[in-house]
Amino acid sequence: MILRSASSPALKPRAAAQNPLAPRVSVLPAGVKMIPRASSERNLKKAGGITKSASSRVLEGSGFGGGRKSSIGGDGGRGGEESMERYYEEMIRRFPGDSLLLANYARFFKEVKGDEVKAEKYCERAILTSKNERDGGLLSMYGDLIWKNHGDSVRAESYFDQAVQSSPSDCYVLASYARFLWDADEEDDEGEGEVNKYQTNLSNPYSEIVAS
C-alpha cells in the first residue's frame, strides 16, 4: 500500500472541500461561458430580464404602491414632500400620457399636499388619457373633487354613479359615494332651513325687533 502526503495534488480538492473557508470553484463544461450577473437595468434588458414600468417605480418610491417606505411625513417632513413632488414632475415630463402616474400625482396633491385644485387638474388629465374610461377609483376621486371645489352636486353625482357602476364591489368607491350623499343631504337641509327662516321674516317683518 502506497501512502501519499497531505501536500499531494490528489488530496488538495478533498482538503478544500472539507475546509468551509476555502473558496468554491465552479467547473464549467468545455465550450460553456459564464454570463456575468446584471448589475443595472440596462444589463437586465440585455440579459432578457423584466423591468418595471415608470408608474410602478413611482408608486414604490412614493409609498402608494406598497414598495419601500414613503419618505413623505414622519422623518421626511416637508423636505420629503418637495422631493417627491419634483420626482413626480420629472416622471410626468418623461411619460406625459401615463394615466396611472397622473392619477397618483392627483392623489398625492389631494391627500398629502392638501391642494385639491391641482388634484382636480391632474385627475382630469388622468381620465382623458386613461385607456380604461370606466376606472371606478379615478371617477370617484374626480367626483369628490368636483363636489369639494365647486359644490356642483349634480355633476359630482354623475361621476359617482359611473364609478359605482364600474366598480360595484369597491369599498373605497362605495364609501366615497356614501360620504358625498351624506354631505350633500346635510347641505340641502341647511339650505331649506335658511329659506324657511327667510320666509318667516317676510311674513312677520317685526319678529326681530326687540322691544325697548
Q: How many domains in the chain?
A: 2
Q: Are 122 and 146 in a shared domain?
A: no
Considering the chain, what is the average pLDDT of its residues? 73
pLDDT at 18: 53
Q: Is the pLDDT of residue 177 over 60?
A: yes
Domain at 66, CATH number = 1.25.40
- Is residue 70 domain-shared with residue 139, that is, in the same domain? no
- In this structure, the answer to whether residues 68 and 110 fall within a common structural domain is yes
CA angle 108, 111, 113 (to 5 degrees): 70
Do 106 and 67 have their domain in common?
A: yes
Q: Does 149 lie in the same domain as 98?
A: no
Nearest to 179 by CA among 203, 207, 159, 160: 160
Question: Environment class of residue 193 by beta-carbon count within 10 Å: exposed (0-12), middle (13-18) or buried (19+)?
Answer: exposed
Span 38-72, pLDDT tens digits: 444 444 344 444 344 555 555 555 444 444 344 44
**What count of residues does the chain have?**
212
Residue 85's CB is within 10 A of a number of other CB atoms, namely 17
